[in-house]
Every structure is written in C-alpha cells, then in structure tokens.
Structure 1
Amino acid sequence: MPRFTGFPLAGLDFYEDLEADNSKAFWSGNKKVWEESVRDPMQALVADLEADFGTAKIFRPYRDVRFSKDKSPYKTHQGAVVHTAQYTGWYVQIAAAGLFVGGGMYTASPAQLAALRTAIDDDVRGAELEAILAQLVSAGFTIGGDKLKTKPKGFTVDHPRIELLRHQSLTAGYEFGAPTWLTEPGAAEEIRKSWEELRPLVEWLGAVTAQK
C-alpha cells in the first residue's frame, strides 16, 4: 500500500464538477482523477490509521437508486467508516466542500435505542455523556443525530436530559473544509487527533448499547 501523502485538491474539484454533471459520461471521462485523487488517498489514509482504530470500510462510489426519486448514479462524496460496534464508530469523508470527520452512532436497532435511553436516564451514565459532549462542543464539534420532536415514551418532558433522550442516533462531527495541510501527509495526523477526541463518545456508545 502506498504511503498517504494527502488529499489532492483535484479530488475536491472532481466532486464539484460531479455535482454539476452527475452522469456516466462525466464519470467515465474523469474516473482516473477519482482513482488518483480520492480513492487511492483514502485507501492509504485508512491503512495509516488502522493500527490505532481498526479496519475501515470504504464506501462504494455508486448510489443505490432503486427506491429513490433521485436517479443520480454517483455519490458526491467519498466516505470511510471504522466500526467499533453495530452502527457505531468513526467516519471520514472527502467532498467538494473538503474534509469532514465524525463519530458516534448513526442509527440504532430498537434494542440499542432502549439501552441508550436507559443509560441517558441513569444519573451516573447520563452525566458521563453530558461531559463527553460538552468537551466535544468546546473543541468545535457539532452534535448531530436524528431526534424525536416529542418526548420518548416513558419519560417526562421535565427530565433533566430530555434533549438527549430525544436522540434516535447520536453523532459528533467537524467540518475542516480545505485547510492547507489537507494536501500534505500531515493530514493523517489531524484526522487521527480528531478521531482520538471522538474516542470517548464512540466508546461510551459502544459500551452502553452492546448486545447482551
């Protein structure tokens, strides 16, 4: 595996053009750019991070359009995920807007969601999560995830952690954009630092939602 040397800006330009012309003709004519400026750097990056975080899955560039009104054939970003538990782990993405990193639980089975809410309801575990999220927010991360508009069943609206209890998924992400270091080998270290900052959230979620 070649060493990671950064994400070329040509990859960002490729996705900007793909957003304007999401066609097989454009893809076929520019596939080499995607391979050299997106696919190959992503493969090298996750290989570099594997010892610290685990084996990554690199997503296919093709969209599943079977049940979508949008029949655009290609994704306008390239992502990779390292799973630490079902639906939980670290994420990295390159797109026209640049680099995005994230982590957390992006969806949940009914059993996982019940376990998550039980942990949030618990004064000790719930306080742990609040502290983890506060630290991430102070570091510039944005807390995300699907949320109920109303309270979940079994909880009152005046619960001290009602906003967390509304979560059906829970993530934290950081939009880097296109900093000067994106095209350099040091980008791997910046991503590694961000994933380490996300580790407490990823590990907390994995621990409380683990299948018994």
Structure 2
Amino acid sequence: MQHPIITKDTFDFLRQLERNNNREWFTENKSSFKSVESDVKAFYAAAMDHLKKHDEIEKIKLFRIYRDVRFSKDKTPYKAHFGGSFARAGARLRGGYYIHIKPGDSFIAAGFWEPNKEDLLRIRKELELDAEEFKKVINEASFKKIWGSLIGDEVKTAPKGFDKSHQDIDLIKKKQYIFVRKFSDKEVLSKEFAKMVDDSFKAIRPYFDLMSDILTTNLNGESLLD
C-alpha cells in the first residue's frame, strides 16, 4: 500500500492562510481546511505505522491549527503549518520525533526538546564525567550527513554546579538536545518524502540508544528501572 503523501493542495492552503490569517477567511474556507487536514492526518498516521516497525512509539500528538494568543504579541489566530510529534515508549526509551510541514520551512526533528530537570541533570552529569561516546555517536560521518550538528537552547555560561571551563561545556550548557533535518518544498511534495523521513528516523537510532542507556542508569551504570 502506497504511503499517503503531502499534496500541493496542502501547501496552497497554508500559503493562502498565511496571507489571510483571520477568522472570516478561515470560516469561509473551512471545507478546504478539513480536506487538507484529512490528508495530513493520514500522512502522520502512516509515518507512525512505519516508525513502529523499528521503534516503540507510545503516542502521536497532532497539534491543532488554532493558536493560543492569550500571552502572545502575535495575535493571528491560526498556525500556517502542520506539526505532529511521536513519543517513544515511556521511562525505558525516552525522546521523540517531530514532523513540521510548512511551505519554505518544512523539517523533521528528533531528540529531547523539553527534558524534565532530572533528565537534564542526568545528561549533563554524564557529559561532565565522559562525553567521548556521546561525541563519537553524533559525529559519526553517516549520521552527520543526514542530521548535521546537535542544536538546542542553552544557558549563557554554565549550569549551576558545573565548571564553565570544562572541556565539553559546549555540550553541558545545552537545555535541549535536538537534531533537525530540513527539506525543500520539492522534496516534501515528492512521493519519496515519506521514505526520506523514515530513513532519517532510522538513522537517529544510535543517538536514541545511547540516550536511553544514559537516562535509565546512574553514573555507575546501574539500572534505574529495577
């Protein structure tokens, strides 16, 4: 069975929405939205089915197109993109995947974008103790060709309790541990897009395997799951 695709209609709708981001226009074009939303949901559902063939996925979350404008300076009521995340199974695996669909700014991501404070401290402590295995995984040539460099928000100098002169402070001071791969509009609209996404998610696995091991053990390597 062929994987559902992202269609030109989806991009056309999102472009029009960006130009006409108001409730009147959206109400008039609600049927068009429902049509492209259905196509996008089918794509995300199929992406999850493929992910489940090589990873354990706990849940999928498709983000609503309606924006929460209560605390935002930007009062436009709608997002001009589609987004969805896939959480890996519970305490044993951790981390997740994300797919972002927007004309001119489509990308996928994987990693840890909102680690809780305990997980963040555990990652930092591991890197403080010995970051060599971590650096070996993320700098491996075939991995780097697909995913590029580690990104994420970070503190200005050093987290509390860590030496700002540590040789790996560039890794320790991160608050997120994420990889992002961008795609052109032509790639997103191609029949090969779903395969490119899934192949990329397969390629991130060495990173996830290492991080799962870190987050389920203490600094002595003893399991925290027992």
Return the match for 2:138 from 133, 140, 150: 133
Aligned partner of 1:158 in structure 2 is 165
Q: Tell me: higher relative CO, structure 1 or 2? Use CA pairs within 8 A at least 6 residues apart.
A: 1
Write out aligned runs for 1:38-187 (5 A).
Answer: 39-49=37-47, 50=49, 51-52=52-53, 53=55, 54=57, 55-84=59-88, 85=90, 88-123=95-130, 126-135=131-140, 136-180=143-187, 182-187=188-193
Could you state the TM-score of these two structures normalised by the residue count of structure 1? 0.85
Give the one of 197, 216, 222 matched to 1:191. Answer: 197
Please report the TM-score for the alignment, with normalisation by the length of structure 2: 0.80
Distance apart, 1:65 and its partner CA:
1.6
How far apart in 1 are the matches of 2:169 and 2:5?
42
Amino acid aligned to 2:66? Y
CA distance in 2, matches of 1:166, 1:195: 26
Alignment match, 1:25: 24
Which segment is superposed worse, 132-141 or 68-77? Answer: 132-141
Superposition deviation, residue 8 in structure 1:
0.9
Aligned pairs, how many?
207
Partner of 2:214: 208
- SS of equivalent to 2:182: strand
Preserved contact between residue 90 and residue 202 of structure 1 (Cα < 8 Å): no
TM-fit CA distance, 1:3: 5.8
Give 1:92 deviation, angstroms. Answer: 0.5
What fraction of aligned residue pairs are identical, expressed as a percent?
25
Change (3 A) 1:67 1:209: farther
Tell whether the 8 Å contact from 2:146 to 2:181 is kept in structure 1 after alignment. Answer: no
* 1:136-186 superposed Cα distances (whole Å, 9 cap, x missing partner): 433353432111111122222331211000100110001112125x33443
The 2-side partners of 1:140 and 1:111 are apart by: 26
What per-residue deviation string (whole Å, max 9, x for no partner) do you get for residues 41-84 of structure 1? 33222322323342421111111122222221111211111111
Q: What CA distance in whole angstroms lies between the structure 2 residues aligned with 1:4 and 1:24?
A: 33
Is the 8 Å Cα contact of residues 61 and 74 (structure 1) preserved in structure 2? Answer: yes
